[in-house]
Amino acid sequence: MNQNDSTQENQLQKCIQHPENDANYFCIDKDCEQKGLCCDKCINKNSHFFHQSLVQKISDLSGTVNTLFQIGEYLRDLGEYTNALEWYDQALSINPQHIDSLIYKGDCLGNLNQFSDAQKLYDQVLTINPQNFDSLFRKGECLNYLGEYQDAQKWYNQALIMNPNHVGSLFGKGECLTLIGLKQYDLVLVINPQHLDSQYRKGECLSYLGYFLEAEKCFDQVLVYNHQHVESLFRKGECLRKLGRIFDALKFYDEALSISPQHIDLLFQKGECLSSLGLYADALKYYDLVLLINPQHINSLYGKGITLLSLNQNKKALIVFKLAYLELTNHPKIKESIKQCNY
């Protein structure tokens, strides 16, 4: 670090108006005359909102760039994205290739819905380091938000080459595929509004994205032409359940079960609904129906165990949880539920 950097570093940790005092507070108002760092005296004279000391956060950093970047990080963590941008810009004015400042400036722009500008920053990082994982993933995210789903997939794929288990990239890629599917189904439905497979698949996509009211309408369209379409009855019930309309959901599950009485997903979800309503004895019947068809159905074993616990039948619940544990030892809740049985 040269003498100039050392001097600037010290100035950043001193109050602008009272340089004899340490800057114990940070003002997030970009128009504040203190220009950011200030001391206890300033608080009594200024009504701006101050955050607690940054001195400890930056005292062990070397170089002005790292200090400016850390202040930007502090503001970004507080959700002060516009103010954070100014500090990243100051860091980049000194070192235009400071990768962390480029990446997190991009994040701030993304949080401000400026995805095109954010994407350019990730491109800069990838020019410096083509293998920068964070920028590969974040560029995919920007393209996803911009509706460029095919291109977004390419960047998610590059991220997944580096980390095949990266949840964000896997989810983003799945989301893009879903949204691409939606566009295709809409094209089909413009040509043929009665194409039931497209209506159904569109409903599935919308449901996956959490648009349950819109998905429900798609399933309704299918049921207009085929009122015995089991999967549409089931999926409409699912939408209603997720919208909190449990009794309405049960009606559609029952209608579907009258057509397909051994439909495992229907039986299980009906059990879940009944359990959520406190109808534990009835719920048990449906979990048992699933387990007659598939004795290793983990979710039904778990649901049955939880329901038995609710009925204070801890010994029976313990047997069920142990069966579930044999099938899936890494289930996040089974171990905890076994402990509950012993109380």
The sign one gets for the Cα dihedral 60, 64, 68, 69 is negative
Chain-centroid distance of CA 264 in Å reads 29
Return the domain boundaries, the chain: 3-112
- Closest listed residue to residue 75, CA positions, set 30, 31, 39, 17: 30
In this prediction, residue 9 carries a pLDDT of 40
Greatest CA span in the chain, whole angstroms?
A: 83
**Averaged pLDDT for residues 83-92:** 90
* Cα-based angle 131, 132, 135 (whole degrees, multiple of 5): 125
Q: Is there a contact between 334 and 306 (Cβ–Cβ < 8 Å)?
A: no
**What's the CATH fold of domain 3-112?**
1.25.40
Taking only the tens place, the pLDDT of each residue in 158-169 is 999 999 999 999
Taking only the tens place, the pLDDT of each residue in 93-126 is 999 999 999 999 999 999 999 999 999 999 999 9
Taking only the tens place, the pLDDT of each residue in 19-40 is 777 666 666 555 555 555 666 6
Q: Is there a contact between 180 and 170 (Cβ–Cβ < 8 Å)?
A: no
Taking only the tens place, the pLDDT of each residue in 164-205 is 999 999 999 998 988 888 999 999 999 999 999 999 999 999
Residue type, 33: E
**pLDDT: which is higher, 332 or 242:** 242
Residue type, 322: K
- DSSP 3-state assignment of 19? coil
Question: Model pTM?
Answer: 0.62
In this prediction, residue 79 carries a pLDDT of 85
Percentages helix, strand, coil for the chain (3-state, rounded to 5) are: 70, 5, 25
What is the 8-class DSSP label of residue 243?
T
Q: How does the average pLDDT of the chain come out, rounded?
A: 85
In this prediction, residue 8 carries a pLDDT of 40
Whole-angstrom distance, CA of residue 67 vs CA of residue 73: 10
Sheet-wide strand order for 37-38: 37-38, 25-27, 50-51
**pLDDT: which is higher, 338 or 253:** 253
